[in-house]
Structure 1
Amino acid sequence: MKKMLLSLTALLPLMVLSGCNMVVFEPQGPVARSITELINWSLIWMLLVVAVVFGLFGYIVWKYRERPENKDYEPPEEHGSTLLEIIWTGIPILIVIALTIPTVKTLYALEETPKGYEEKEPITIHVTSADWKWIFSYPEEGIETVNYVNIPEDTPVLFKMTSASTMQSFWVPALGGQKYTMPKMETEMYLVADNPGSYEGQNTNFNGRGYADMKFEVLAQTQEDFDQWVDDVKETAPKLTEKEYEGLLKPTHLGRLTYSNTHLEWVNHADPNSKAYTNPELYRGHGYQGKTFEEDDNYKNENPNVIEGHGEEESHDSQENHGGGHHGH
């Protein structure tokens, strides 16, 4: 018993901490709260099952342990108990039902505008994942950003997601669950931020060595600040060209970039007939990661070196094409 207790004590922290992002339990929007409530409901049932199973295990081990007075005991042959078999078959069925019903209801609810925001007009943002960066397009505002996305607080945001290359997973733990982005397909997700704040998003799908650093910021702003940001970008951000965009899609890490137009003008990667932009020769056995900016944020930098790792000529072109005026937040 002592050895068993020591083993359980050692395994408990691993069970609690492995693969767990604690931000999930601090939801900052209605979508994330729905998911957290579902997780908590599931945890209650799992803890109940674990408590009963370990309780019965300990009781049986103790009650039927070998003792000096029963070493030669041979139990009589018995036929099974119909009542016990019904009980231990029925209980798991009831538990599965208790978990399935709220799970299905929550999953269907997440596909719609969050409850309480049905009357509020959502803004639409197209999300394009590429190795290893996130590209956000605002078709209504005529803005495109790389590796960060600004949204107004207390407003439903419809993300229309696709991929320019491999399959990735879009996840902002504080605001909602994860969904895959796939080339020549489109998935949708509604998110709402209750209050202004900065929230980290990331790619959770392994697609090469660069995926671990494929992160972005979601900045929730007041409506006034958001509108001011949109106006500033329209006035000062450079235009994105098709050639430059094709360079952005190569497998690299980038800093933050901002443009006063979107790549949707010439390509929508969700279209089944759209052009493929994969660059397999640059992966070098899935080991190529490119280089990163030295700065955390290239907000209004004059000459950020946007695309590195593809030779001196392309790096020089990138500096010319990505001149000043890039905005962060």
Structure 2
Amino acid sequence: MSIKTLRGLLIPFVALLLSGCNAVLLSPAGDVAVQQRNLIIISTVLMLIIIVPVIFLTLLFAWKYRASNKDAEYDPEWHHSTVLELLIWSAPLIIIIALGAVTWVSTHKLDPFRPLDRISEGREIPADVKPLVIEVVALDWKWLFLYPEQGIATVNEVAAPVDRPIQFKITASTVMNSFFVPSLAGQIYAMPGMETQLHAVMNKPGSYEGFSANYSGAGFSGMRFKFLGVSEGDFDKWVAQAKASPDALDRDSYLKLEQPSEKDPVHRYGSVSDGLYKAIVNRCVEANRMCVSDMMAMDAQGGAGIVGAYNVTSLDSATRNRLGLVDAPVKSYVGALCVGRDITGSPVSPAGRPL
């Protein structure tokens, strides 16, 4: 079989395979993702306005002025054309201005921290509708979702009513990940000790895939979850099912859940300890860890003092084991700086210099 024949057979086979692909980015189910899809299309079309004519004219010139075409016009003294200069420079300039305007508007309109102003095109958000708050924690290697209003939590499954705005508050336990539901909105990074946000809405019911779009270690490939777009009634039933779970997510159970594991099944918690998400963000789930917010408040007042020094130096064996510091050397800290006196009784620094 010749290469040409083989190539002819492969083309329809590849086309058949591609026909089964679901181009989710080009057919999303959420309004924010739809606007981002439109931005991609608009930007691509604007750039093709330049690219297509350039490719066409390149091929045209190569064919017209080929060596075998003796009838082509030959003008070795030609060096300038005002019309061509205007076309060459004005067209790209107009495209750049258009792209800049589209980018500036969309950057502000699609800011993930910006609350939504519509459910979908032509549909404003009712005045009495409040966003559904979902707190997201990227763990190794699974996703934890907390519903502060409903008092429940889930692992590797999240649900929200269709056409209701959602406010995601996103953080991570250890390394940076990326929260991404292609049908809902663009990816948002999840970082330890920080909180990012995403406002979005799902407009069509269904089960959609979510995953981490940032490599975070051995179990990264299995770090996936399901986003369920459901009706208000089905969402209430889903919440009721979660509340029926006998498991409670307190600080101790969270520290166990935080341990690295791969391809965890969906798990639901019927109750959640108050302030758990805040403690996760501030890196102080353990009882003997100072919260980042408290540390910053102390620093703003001039320093941590004795209490802060105690927290820094009092990592017990259980905490050191959980943090992987069992074999690490124990750090020593300066507890105080003593001021001495010389033979005349005047104070001197530790280096012996007069104060």
User: TM exceeds 0.5?
Assistant: yes
Indicate if the aligned counterparts of 2:208 and 2:227 stay in contact, CA closer than 8 A.
yes
* 2:25 match: 24
1:270 paired to 2:271: no
1:261 paired to 2:271: yes
Structure 1 vs Structure 2 CA RMSD = 3.3
Q: Which amino acid aligns with 1:271?
A: N
Shift of 1:26: 1.4
Indicate if the aligned counterparts of 2:30 and 2:203 stay in contact, CA closer than 8 A.
yes
- Mapped partners of 1:21, 1:132: distance in 2: 26
Q: Which amino acid aligns with 2:275?
A: E
* 2:348 match: none
Q: Give 5+ residue unaligned stretches, structure 2.
A: 1-6, 119-123, 284-290, 294-318, 326-355
Q: Give 5+ residue unaligned stretches, structure 1.
A: 1-5, 283-329
* 1:196 match: 205
> What secondary structure is seen at the aligned counterpart in 2 of 1:177?
strand
* 1:112 match: 115
Indicate if the aligned counterparts of 2:242 and 2:270 stay in contact, CA closer than 8 A.
yes
Equivalent pairs, count: 267
Determine which structure has greater relative contact order: mean sequence separation of CA pairs < 8 Å that are 6+ residues apart, divided by chain length.
1
1:248 paired to 2:251: no
**Cα deviation code 1:161-207 (max 9, x no counterpart):** 11111111111111111111112221111121123211111111122
With over 3 angstroms needed to count, the CA separation of the structure-2 counterparts of 1:68 and 1:143, relative to structure 1, is closer
1:145 paired to 2:157: no
With over 3 angstroms needed to count, the CA separation of the structure-2 counterparts of 1:218 and 1:143, relative to structure 1, is same
TM-score (norm 2): 0.66
User: Of the candidates 212, 228, 238, which is equivalent to residue 221 of structure 2?
Assistant: 212
- Mapped partners of 1:77, 1:262: distance in 2: 82
**Cα deviation code 1:222-257 (max 9, x no counterpart):** 111211222232233411232321222222221111
TM-score (norm 1): 0.71
Indicate if the aligned counterparts of 1:165 and 1:277 stay in contact, CA closer than 8 A.
no
1:44 paired to 2:54: no
Q: How does 1:1-329 map to 2 (within 5 A)?
A: 22-67=23-68, 69=70, 76-110=76-110, 111-115=114-118, 116-117=124-125, 119=127, 120-253=129-262, 254-262=264-272, 265-268=275-278, 269-271=280-282, 273-274=291-292
Q: Which amino acid aligns with 2:102?
A: P
> What secondary structure is seen at the aligned counterpart in 1 of 2:136?
strand
Shift of 1:93: 2.2
With over 3 angstroms needed to count, the CA separation of the structure-2 counterparts of 1:267 and 1:124, relative to structure 1, is closer
Indicate if the aligned counterparts of 2:47 and 2:95 stay in contact, CA closer than 8 A.
no
Indicate if the aligned counterparts of 2:152 and 2:272 stay in contact, CA closer than 8 A.
yes
